[in-house]
Amino acid sequence: MTITNPAPLTAKEFKGKVDPDWCPGCGDYGVLNCLQRACAELALKPHELLVVSGIGCSSNLPGFFNAYGVHSLHGRSLPVATGAKLANHELTVVVTGGDGDGYGIGGNHLAHTARRNVNLTYIVMDNQIYGLTTGQVSPTSREGMKTKSTPYGSVERPANPLTAAIMNGATFVARGFSGDAKHLVELMVKAIQHQGFALIDVFSPCVTFNHDNDYPFFRQRVKRLEDEGHDPSDWKAACEKAMVWGDTIYTGLFYQFKGRDTLEQREQVLHEGGPLARRPLGLTKEQAQRLIARLL
Protein backbone atom coordinates (compact mmCIF):
# COMPACT_ATOMS: atom_id res chain seq x y z
CA MET A 1 0.00 0.00 0.00
CA THR A 2 1.29 3.46 -0.91
CA ILE A 3 0.33 6.41 1.26
CA THR A 4 -0.02 9.37 -1.11
CA ASN A 5 -0.72 12.02 1.52
CA PRO A 6 1.17 11.06 4.69
CA ALA A 7 0.31 12.91 7.85
CA PRO A 8 2.80 15.66 8.74
CA LEU A 9 5.37 14.72 11.34
CA THR A 10 5.15 16.15 14.82
CA ALA A 11 7.86 16.77 17.38
CA LYS A 12 6.74 13.60 19.17
CA GLU A 13 7.95 11.55 16.20
CA PHE A 14 11.49 12.50 17.17
CA LYS A 15 11.13 11.50 20.82
CA GLY A 16 13.52 8.70 21.70
CA LYS A 17 12.64 5.53 23.58
CA VAL A 18 14.79 6.64 26.54
CA ASP A 19 13.79 9.63 28.65
CA PRO A 20 16.45 12.30 29.36
CA ASP A 21 18.23 12.00 32.71
CA TRP A 22 19.55 15.54 32.96
CA CYS A 23 19.17 17.49 36.19
CA PRO A 24 15.72 19.08 36.63
CA GLY A 25 15.85 22.54 35.07
CA CYS A 26 18.83 21.83 32.82
CA GLY A 27 18.84 23.95 29.69
CA ASP A 28 19.53 20.89 27.57
CA TYR A 29 15.87 19.87 27.86
CA GLY A 30 14.97 23.02 25.96
CA VAL A 31 17.56 22.33 23.26
CA LEU A 32 16.28 18.77 22.78
CA ASN A 33 12.69 19.98 22.53
CA CYS A 34 13.63 22.72 20.05
CA LEU A 35 15.57 20.29 17.85
CA GLN A 36 12.59 17.93 17.77
CA ARG A 37 10.31 20.81 16.80
CA ALA A 38 12.71 22.07 14.15
CA CYS A 39 13.04 18.63 12.52
CA ALA A 40 9.25 18.26 12.48
CA GLU A 41 8.85 21.71 10.94
CA LEU A 42 11.32 20.77 8.21
CA ALA A 43 9.40 17.50 7.60
CA LEU A 44 12.60 15.49 8.04
CA LYS A 45 12.25 11.73 8.37
CA PRO A 46 14.05 10.00 11.26
CA HIS A 47 15.71 7.48 8.91
CA GLU A 48 17.15 10.34 6.83
CA LEU A 49 18.69 12.06 9.86
CA LEU A 50 21.86 11.35 11.82
CA VAL A 51 22.68 12.93 15.19
CA VAL A 52 26.33 12.68 16.32
CA SER A 53 27.71 13.69 19.70
CA GLY A 54 30.89 13.61 21.74
CA ILE A 55 31.09 13.17 25.51
CA GLY A 56 29.38 15.22 28.22
CA CYS A 57 25.94 15.85 29.68
CA SER A 58 24.68 17.41 26.45
CA SER A 59 26.31 14.70 24.35
CA ASN A 60 23.79 12.19 25.68
CA LEU A 61 21.22 13.85 23.40
CA PRO A 62 21.27 11.25 20.55
CA GLY A 63 20.04 8.64 23.03
CA PHE A 64 16.93 10.73 23.67
CA PHE A 65 16.23 11.45 20.00
CA ASN A 66 14.51 9.26 17.41
CA ALA A 67 16.96 9.13 14.49
CA TYR A 68 20.21 7.43 13.64
CA GLY A 69 22.69 8.34 16.37
CA VAL A 70 26.36 8.06 17.22
CA HIS A 71 27.74 8.74 20.71
CA SER A 72 31.39 9.16 19.75
CA LEU A 73 34.62 10.17 21.51
CA HIS A 74 35.32 13.23 23.62
CA GLY A 75 35.86 16.19 21.30
CA ARG A 76 35.73 14.01 18.17
CA SER A 77 32.11 14.39 17.10
CA LEU A 78 32.89 16.65 14.13
CA PRO A 79 35.35 14.31 12.33
CA VAL A 80 32.95 11.39 12.93
CA ALA A 81 30.10 13.47 11.48
CA THR A 82 32.28 14.53 8.54
CA GLY A 83 33.03 10.90 7.74
CA ALA A 84 29.35 10.01 7.91
CA LYS A 85 28.41 12.93 5.67
CA LEU A 86 30.99 11.97 3.05
CA ALA A 87 29.92 8.32 3.18
CA ASN A 88 26.27 9.26 2.65
CA HIS A 89 25.94 12.88 1.60
CA GLU A 90 22.16 12.51 1.31
CA LEU A 91 21.87 12.26 5.10
CA THR A 92 20.98 15.31 7.14
CA VAL A 93 23.69 15.39 9.80
CA VAL A 94 23.34 17.28 13.10
CA VAL A 95 26.09 17.33 15.72
CA THR A 96 25.35 18.07 19.38
CA GLY A 97 27.67 18.63 22.32
CA GLY A 98 28.87 21.02 24.98
CA ASP A 99 31.40 23.83 25.31
CA GLY A 100 34.03 21.63 26.94
CA ASP A 101 33.64 18.92 24.33
CA GLY A 102 33.45 21.28 21.36
CA TYR A 103 35.63 24.25 22.26
CA GLY A 104 38.15 22.55 24.54
CA ILE A 105 39.34 19.14 23.41
CA GLY A 106 37.41 19.53 20.15
CA GLY A 107 38.52 23.06 19.31
CA ASN A 108 40.95 21.94 16.62
CA HIS A 109 38.22 19.99 14.84
CA LEU A 110 35.90 23.02 14.97
CA ALA A 111 38.48 25.09 13.09
CA HIS A 112 39.00 22.54 10.34
CA THR A 113 35.34 21.60 9.92
CA ALA A 114 34.59 25.30 9.51
CA ARG A 115 37.31 25.90 6.91
CA ARG A 116 36.23 22.81 4.95
CA ASN A 117 32.62 24.03 5.03
CA VAL A 118 31.22 20.56 5.68
CA ASN A 119 27.46 20.55 5.17
CA LEU A 120 26.34 19.81 8.71
CA THR A 121 24.80 21.62 11.69
CA TYR A 122 26.69 21.85 14.98
CA ILE A 123 24.60 22.69 18.05
CA VAL A 124 26.73 23.43 21.11
CA MET A 125 25.00 23.56 24.49
CA ASP A 126 27.21 26.18 26.12
CA ASN A 127 26.82 26.23 29.91
CA GLN A 128 30.26 27.71 30.70
CA ILE A 129 31.15 24.75 32.92
CA TYR A 130 32.13 21.08 32.80
CA GLY A 131 28.89 19.62 34.13
CA LEU A 132 29.39 15.87 33.67
CA THR A 133 32.56 15.92 35.80
CA THR A 134 30.73 18.01 38.43
CA GLY A 135 31.87 21.56 37.91
CA GLN A 136 35.28 22.50 36.53
CA VAL A 137 36.18 25.60 34.52
CA SER A 138 35.50 25.27 30.78
CA PRO A 139 36.80 27.20 27.74
CA THR A 140 33.86 29.63 27.93
CA SER A 141 33.86 30.18 31.71
CA ARG A 142 34.19 33.83 32.66
CA GLU A 143 37.45 35.25 33.96
CA GLY A 144 37.47 35.08 37.77
CA MET A 145 34.89 32.29 37.95
CA LYS A 146 35.33 30.03 40.98
CA THR A 147 34.95 26.33 40.28
CA LYS A 148 36.32 23.06 41.64
CA SER A 149 39.36 23.45 39.39
CA THR A 150 39.73 27.21 40.01
CA PRO A 151 38.95 27.79 43.72
CA TYR A 152 40.58 31.25 43.61
CA GLY A 153 38.95 32.22 40.34
CA SER A 154 39.84 31.47 36.73
CA VAL A 155 42.81 33.45 35.41
CA GLU A 156 42.04 32.57 31.77
CA ARG A 157 40.14 34.70 29.28
CA PRO A 158 37.12 32.85 27.88
CA ALA A 159 37.08 31.63 24.29
CA ASN A 160 34.75 33.30 21.80
CA PRO A 161 33.37 30.47 19.66
CA LEU A 162 31.43 32.79 17.35
CA THR A 163 34.39 34.86 16.18
CA ALA A 164 36.52 31.70 16.01
CA ALA A 165 34.00 30.02 13.72
CA ILE A 166 33.62 33.10 11.52
CA MET A 167 37.38 33.57 11.19
CA ASN A 168 37.89 29.92 10.27
CA GLY A 169 35.36 30.00 7.45
CA ALA A 170 32.02 28.85 8.89
CA THR A 171 29.25 30.00 6.58
CA PHE A 172 26.47 30.13 9.20
CA VAL A 173 27.12 31.33 12.75
CA ALA A 174 24.35 31.91 15.28
CA ARG A 175 23.67 31.99 19.00
CA GLY A 176 20.50 30.98 20.82
CA PHE A 177 19.17 30.69 24.35
CA SER A 178 17.35 27.60 25.58
CA GLY A 179 15.03 29.89 27.53
CA ASP A 180 13.79 31.43 24.25
CA ALA A 181 12.41 28.35 22.51
CA LYS A 182 10.59 30.05 19.63
CA HIS A 183 13.72 31.92 18.58
CA LEU A 184 15.92 28.85 18.97
CA VAL A 185 13.63 26.73 16.77
CA GLU A 186 13.84 29.42 14.08
CA LEU A 187 17.64 29.37 14.22
CA MET A 188 17.78 25.57 14.05
CA VAL A 189 15.49 25.49 11.02
CA LYS A 190 17.66 28.02 9.20
CA ALA A 191 20.87 26.22 10.18
CA ILE A 192 19.71 22.81 8.95
CA GLN A 193 18.46 24.35 5.70
CA HIS A 194 21.79 26.11 5.17
CA GLN A 195 24.18 24.57 2.65
CA GLY A 196 27.51 24.52 4.49
CA PHE A 197 28.88 24.38 8.01
CA ALA A 198 26.44 25.89 10.52
CA LEU A 199 27.28 26.57 14.17
CA ILE A 200 24.66 27.44 16.77
CA ASP A 201 26.13 28.26 20.17
CA VAL A 202 23.26 27.86 22.64
CA PHE A 203 23.22 29.30 26.16
CA SER A 204 22.01 26.23 28.05
CA PRO A 205 22.28 26.96 31.79
CA CYS A 206 23.67 24.33 34.14
CA VAL A 207 21.45 24.79 37.18
CA THR A 208 23.55 22.45 39.34
CA PHE A 209 27.15 23.60 38.93
CA ASN A 210 27.05 27.09 37.38
CA HIS A 211 25.20 29.63 39.48
CA ASP A 212 26.89 32.58 37.75
CA ASN A 213 25.33 32.14 34.30
CA ASP A 214 21.82 31.05 35.24
CA TYR A 215 18.46 31.77 33.60
CA PRO A 216 17.99 35.18 35.29
CA PHE A 217 21.50 36.20 34.17
CA PHE A 218 20.67 35.61 30.52
CA ARG A 219 17.06 36.79 30.62
CA GLN A 220 18.25 40.22 31.79
CA ARG A 221 20.87 40.48 29.04
CA VAL A 222 20.02 38.60 25.86
CA LYS A 223 18.87 40.72 22.96
CA ARG A 224 17.90 39.46 19.52
CA LEU A 225 19.96 40.72 16.61
CA GLU A 226 16.84 40.58 14.46
CA ASP A 227 15.29 43.34 16.58
CA GLU A 228 18.19 45.64 15.62
CA GLY A 229 18.00 44.97 11.89
CA HIS A 230 21.42 43.28 11.83
CA ASP A 231 22.62 42.26 8.36
CA PRO A 232 24.06 38.70 8.63
CA SER A 233 25.92 39.12 5.34
CA ASP A 234 28.08 41.83 6.95
CA TRP A 235 31.20 39.96 8.10
CA LYS A 236 32.64 42.90 10.04
CA ALA A 237 29.40 43.71 11.85
CA ALA A 238 28.97 40.02 12.72
CA CYS A 239 32.37 39.93 14.42
CA GLU A 240 31.69 43.17 16.28
CA LYS A 241 28.31 41.98 17.57
CA ALA A 242 29.82 38.63 18.59
CA MET A 243 32.35 40.42 20.81
CA VAL A 244 29.71 42.29 22.81
CA TRP A 245 29.44 40.84 26.32
CA GLY A 246 28.07 42.80 29.25
CA ASP A 247 24.68 44.25 30.06
CA THR A 248 23.76 43.24 26.49
CA ILE A 249 24.54 39.84 24.98
CA TYR A 250 23.29 39.22 21.47
CA THR A 251 21.49 36.15 20.20
CA GLY A 252 20.38 35.43 16.66
CA LEU A 253 22.01 34.91 13.28
CA PHE A 254 25.34 36.73 13.29
CA TYR A 255 26.74 35.65 9.93
CA GLN A 256 25.65 33.75 6.83
CA PHE A 257 27.43 33.31 3.52
CA LYS A 258 25.48 31.45 0.84
CA GLY A 259 27.86 31.32 -2.11
CA ARG A 260 30.63 28.98 -0.99
CA ASP A 261 30.84 25.36 -2.14
CA THR A 262 30.52 22.69 0.53
CA LEU A 263 33.14 19.97 0.97
CA GLU A 264 30.78 17.44 -0.61
CA GLN A 265 30.30 19.65 -3.67
CA ARG A 266 34.06 19.93 -4.13
CA GLU A 267 34.69 16.20 -3.82
CA GLN A 268 34.42 14.98 -7.41
CA VAL A 269 34.05 11.33 -6.43
CA LEU A 270 30.62 12.12 -4.92
CA HIS A 271 29.20 13.61 -8.09
CA GLU A 272 28.30 10.37 -9.85
CA GLY A 273 26.87 7.09 -8.64
CA GLY A 274 25.04 8.31 -5.56
CA PRO A 275 26.25 8.08 -1.94
CA LEU A 276 29.40 6.05 -1.36
CA ALA A 277 27.58 3.94 1.23
CA ARG A 278 25.25 2.59 -1.47
CA ARG A 279 27.87 1.80 -4.08
CA PRO A 280 29.44 -1.62 -4.64
CA LEU A 281 32.25 -2.26 -2.20
CA GLY A 282 34.83 -2.93 -4.87
CA LEU A 283 36.11 -6.05 -3.12
CA THR A 284 35.40 -9.68 -3.69
CA LYS A 285 33.48 -11.56 -1.02
CA GLU A 286 36.66 -13.36 -0.01
CA GLN A 287 38.64 -10.11 0.31
CA ALA A 288 35.91 -8.58 2.44
CA GLN A 289 35.81 -11.63 4.71
CA ARG A 290 39.59 -11.54 5.17
CA LEU A 291 39.46 -7.85 6.14
CA ILE A 292 36.66 -8.48 8.63
CA ALA A 293 38.53 -11.42 10.12
CA ARG A 294 41.63 -9.27 10.64
CA LEU A 295 39.62 -6.56 12.37
CA LEU A 296 37.77 -8.89 14.75
Query: Taking residues 165-171, what's their average pLDDT?
Result: 97
**Cα distances (angstroms) measured from residue 118 to each of 86, 246, 254:** 9, 33, 19
Q: Does residue 4 surpass a pLDDT of 70? A: no
Which of 164, 172, 180, 158 is closest to 123 using CA atoms?
A: 172
pTM of the model: 0.94
Q: What is the pLDDT of residues 40-96, one digit of tens each?
A: 999 999 999 999 999 999 999 999 999 999 999 999 999 999 999 999 999 999 999
Instruction: Say which CATH architecture domain 11-295 belongs to.
Output: 3-Layer(aba) Sandwich (3.40)
C-alpha–C-alpha distance, residues 217 and 221, integer Å? 7
Q: pLDDT, tens digit, for every residue of 90-137?
A: 999 999 999 999 999 999 999 999 999 999 999 999 999 999 999 999
Where are the chain's structural domains? 11-295
